[in-house]
Structure formats: structure tokens, C-alpha cells
Amino acid sequence: MPDVNPAPAIPHYDALVIGAGFSGLYQLLCLRDRLGLKVQVLEAGEGVGGTWYWNRYPGARCDSESHSYNFTFSKELFEEWEWSERYPEQPEIMRYLNHVADRFDLKRDIRFGTRVTGARYDEAANRWTVTTEAGERFSAQFLITAVGCLSTANVPKIPGLEDFAGQWVHTGQWPHEGVDFTGKRVGLIGTGSTGIQATPVIAAAAKHLTVFQRTANYSVPAHNAPLKPEFKQWVKANHATLREVMRSTPNGHPFVIADRSVWDVSDAEREALYEAAWAKGGLQFRATFRDLLVDKAANDTAAAFLKNKIREIVKDPATAATLADIDHPYAAKRPPIDSDYFDTFNRDNVTLVDVRAAPIERVTPDGLQTREASYPLDIIVFATGFDAMTGPLLKLNIEGRNGMPLAQAWEAGPRNYLGLQVAGFPNLFTITGPGSPSVLCNMPVAIEQHVEWITDCIAHLRAKGLARIETTEPAMAGWVAQVNDAAAATLLPEAHHSWYLGANVPGKPRVFMPYAGGMAHYRAICDEVAAKGYAGFALSD
């Protein structure tokens, strides 16, 4: 007799993709339209955009130049889209991603408002079953995470926050209705890329802004401006060239690192080159010399130039000294670019507080208290960053073969092969996972490479009649060593408090997470692995 209350059938797909930002959108397009797979995307937000859907804080803008911050896989898409400014602002990036989703009819295969809370691999069925916050379940042969690297907000556990009488917000979970700073005393904690972008905009709106700085930071002007029609035309006419440059440079940006050492030029020539780079602005400052990130003495010359700029711009000598008291090499932490950040400290309504010298002790009902003073506040803005790279993956509660939690497999830090796969987790792919260039690269370039590699890999399996791919322990051990070696060859690990190392989250293992060997080199490694029949992976039916 049939069961009168049969368990609802779990919808089954060839592939489930978690996240509908740049990576999820392109992965859906590739698997559905190029391979003909049945694909479902699950997205926590109510729209596409990923990181950009959540990061709506004032001043949110990308630090990749707009003509490089887009997909390049479609010449038509590239040529029909027109950015308005040198650096795209968050609302314009949202318009772009919605345009992509609509142009390729992607939204019909995305379930919005669907937060994944668990994923479990069933060995016998060779299936992943994914659970959502609402208790729904989905299953698929392949599970692909497209959750981004910087999507898990890090709100420091400061005692007393629950008793704060005012409003507090984290920049990465910004209220969609916005925050009204008019007439308000605002405290902003954090001086990374986000705090540096938000400070001038909040200062212009608030009654008073107090910036709480723990680690002083370099910043180079963005010199953002509307794009000239001639430049837009040039971009449209140069799709192939730009794509080629971005795919061949170590960081996926559309500029080439100068082939000269800091020591090839005289002191005066060096200063002139730094001045020219400062006047041009943006991340290209890093490209002034080839040895800035590998030779500490070379880096010191850039650091000295940038610290001098701070002292020139900021009128109050004590404030300037605190802002210029930077303890790490230039670009060893992700280098911010800004619009009037340092100049903002010349405003009468802005105060800088050094919380390295006098740490924050607690939040009180009416503000923040450091070891030395109390600061009455109406609004606290946490620009305190993210549980980067591993955070978004671990939050999914992924369990591989025999119920092994990913959190346990990564107890001592992330271990995987090529940043793409973890042994014990068959048919799971992590787009821009730790161990891949990801955040050290212009993200759309890193994303296109990963998505295309995963697509080709699944196509290969299908063509060979194979059902499963899983990396091996030895392949992972070799790759982890390569990731460590690549980082050790640079100055990047010298920024001890960097989120690249997980140092911003108390208790997180200190492991240098992104692959620092350069995007072009990484692409060649991945291509070679594929050409050798997916060396380092076990393929089976």
C-alpha cells in the first residue's frame, strides 16, 4: 500500500551553485547554456550581486578600474556596457550584474532569499544534499560554491555592544534603506579599504565623525572622475587587447608592472616616478617598480614617499603622525585607494583616535570607551572587515565523505588543491577558494578562470562517462607547500595583522590564504593539470 504521507521528493539537479555574484552568475551560464546541465543557483540575498548586494555603505566603490571590472567572455557584452566613472560605484556595479543576469536570462534559475545552512555528501548516491535556512532541501551531483571571499562580516566582540542606546551597523551588512547621519555623532572603527572609503562621505554628512584607528594604513588617491567619451570608445575598440593584458599580468589588472628596479634609478628619478604614479592614482602605484613587493629596502622607498604625502596633506602634526605611523610594508596589506581620505582629517568635525595606543575597552550605552577616554556617539559604524576566504565556506556547514565537516578538515587552516577542491569532498568545487589568486587578483579575471576551468572539468567527466572527481591528499600537500612558498617569496606575510593571514579574526589559524604566485602563472598550472588528464585528482565512475 502506498505511503499516505510520502516524504516530499528532493529536487535533483546536475549542479547546485551557491551564490549569485559575479562567480555564481557566470557558473550558471556556463553549465546551463554551454554544457546543457540542469542547474539551480541558491542565493541568500533578494537579488543578484553577491558582495555588492550587501556592501552598500557610503562611498562603496570598486578599486579595480571600471573597464577591467567586468566579464570579458562575451565581446558583445563587453562592448555594449558603458561604465560612467573611472572606478565603478556600488549601485552601478549592481546595475551591471543585473544587466548580465537579464541579458543571459539567468534569474529564472536562481532562488533568491534562500540561505544555505548545510551541505552533505552521500557517497553511495554520489550526491550532495543541500539544506536551507527555511528547511528546504536540494540535491545535485556537483556542488559549486560561489560565495565570494569577503562576505562574512567580522563584528568584533566588544563588551557592552548589546547595551548601546544608539544604532550600530557593519559596512558589509549595510541596511538597504540607508543610514541617516544628519546631525549625528558617528564613530567609525576600522581603517582598511572600507573605512578609508566611507570616512570622507560620512564626515560630509555627520555632525561629527570620530575615526578609531588601530592600524595606520597607506592610501593612494583614486582620482576618480567621469570617463571621457574617447576613453569609452577606446575600451570598446580594444576588447581583445585588454582581455589579453589582464590575463597575462600577475594581478589581473589592465596595467603592466614596470620592468625596472627601485635601484635602477637615481633618488631624484625615483621621486619623480612616485610623483607621477601618485598623480595618476590607483592601484597602479604598485606597478612603479618590479621589486616593491619582494625587496624590503625597495619597498621602504615607496613607504617613505607615501608617509610624506600624509604629513603634507594633514595639517595637524599629531594627527598626521598617527596616520603615518604605519608598521607594515606598502601593499603587504591590501592597499586602499581613496577620495580625499587624508584631507578629511583637516575638517573641524573629524577626530582621529589611536586605539593601538589606548585600546577600545567597551561600548557604553552612550558611546565608546577606550583606556583613556569616553566618546559619546549616536551611531557606531564597524568597518572591521570580514572573516575572509574561509569564513563564507565554513558557514555553509559542508560535510564530505563519512560526514567529515569541512571545519574539521581545515582546523589548522585551509588545505586544498589549486584552491578548487578538498580531498574527502568529491565533486565540490570552490570558486576563488583559499589557495587560489582570488583577492590578490582583479576578481572578475580570477572568477572567469575558475569558472571556465570547472566547466571544462565537468565537460571532461561527462565526455568520458565519469561521475566523480576528487583531489588527493598528496596533491593537496604539494599545493599547500606551493602556496606557502609563493607567499614567502614576497613581503606579504610581513603584515602580521592582515586578513590575508586570518589575523583579524581572534582564534583563526594564521595561514597565508591566497596564492601569491601570480594569476598568469596560476592559470598555466591549472591548464597543465587539465592537459595531463586532471593530474592530482582521482576520476571515477
Binding residues vs ligand N01 (CB under 6 A): 61-63, 150, 156, 189-195, 197, 212, 214-215, 334, 355, 360, 383-386, 439, 497, 499, 504
Helices within 332-432 (DSSP H only): 341-344, 391-394, 406-409
**CB 279, min distance to ligand N01, A:** 20
Here the cell at position 373 is 577616554
Closer residue to ligand N01 in complex, CB, 192/252:
192
**CB 396, min distance to ligand N01, A:** 20
Closer residue to ligand N01 in complex, CB, 41/331:
331
**Nearest-10 crossing angle of helices 443-463, 519-531:** 0
**CB 45, min distance to ligand N01, A:** 18
Q: Residues 6 or more apart from 410 whose CB is under 8 A from it? A: 390, 394, 422, 509
| Grid-cell match 594627527, residue found | 319
Helix (H), strand (E) at residue 301? helix 296-313
Closer residue to ligand N01 in complex, CB, 61/309:
61
Closer residue to ligand N01 in complex, CB, 22/537:
22
**CB 439, min distance to ligand N01, A:** 5
**CB 331, min distance to ligand N01, A:** 11
Here the cell at position 171 is 559596512
**CB 337, min distance to ligand N01, A:** 7
CA distances for 123 relative to 296, 401, 463, 468, 476, angstroms = 50, 6, 22, 10, 21
Closer residue to ligand N01 in complex, CB, 62/418:
62
Amino acid identity of residue 74, one-letter, is S
**CB 442, min distance to ligand N01, A:** 10
**CB 526, min distance to ligand N01, A:** 22
**CB 215, min distance to ligand N01, A:** 3
Amino acid identity of residue 461, one-letter, is L
| Cα(440)–Cα(70) distance, integer angstroms | 17
Q: How many CA within 13 A on the CB side of residue 505?
A: 21
Q: Residues 6 or more apart from 175 whose CB is under 8 A from it? A: 56, 169
Q: Are 428 and 122 in contact (CB under 8 A)?
A: no
| Cα(319)–Cα(73) distance, integer angstroms | 47
Q: Are 246 and 252 in contact (CB under 8 A)?
A: yes
Here the cell at position 57 is 555603505
Closer residue to ligand N01 in complex, CB, 75/371:
371
Closer residue to ligand N01 in complex, CB, 174/499:
499
Compute how many other C-beta atoms are within 10 angstroms of the C-beta atom of residue 372.
Answer: 12
Helix (H), strand (E) at residue 368? strand 367-370
Here the cell at position 322 is 598617527
Helix (H), strand (E) at residue 309? helix 296-313
**CB 476, min distance to ligand N01, A:** 26
Closer residue to ligand N01 in complex, CB, 31/441:
441
Closer residue to ligand N01 in complex, CB, 18/149:
149
Closer residue to ligand N01 in complex, CB, 156/509:
156
CA distances for 391 relative to 40, 97, 220, 434, angstroms = 23, 24, 29, 10
Closer residue to ligand N01 in complex, CB, 146/476:
146
Rg (CA), the chain: 24
Here the cell at position 115 is 540561505
Helices within 17-127 (DSSP H only): 22-29, 51-54, 75-80, 90-103
**CB 225, min distance to ligand N01, A:** 16
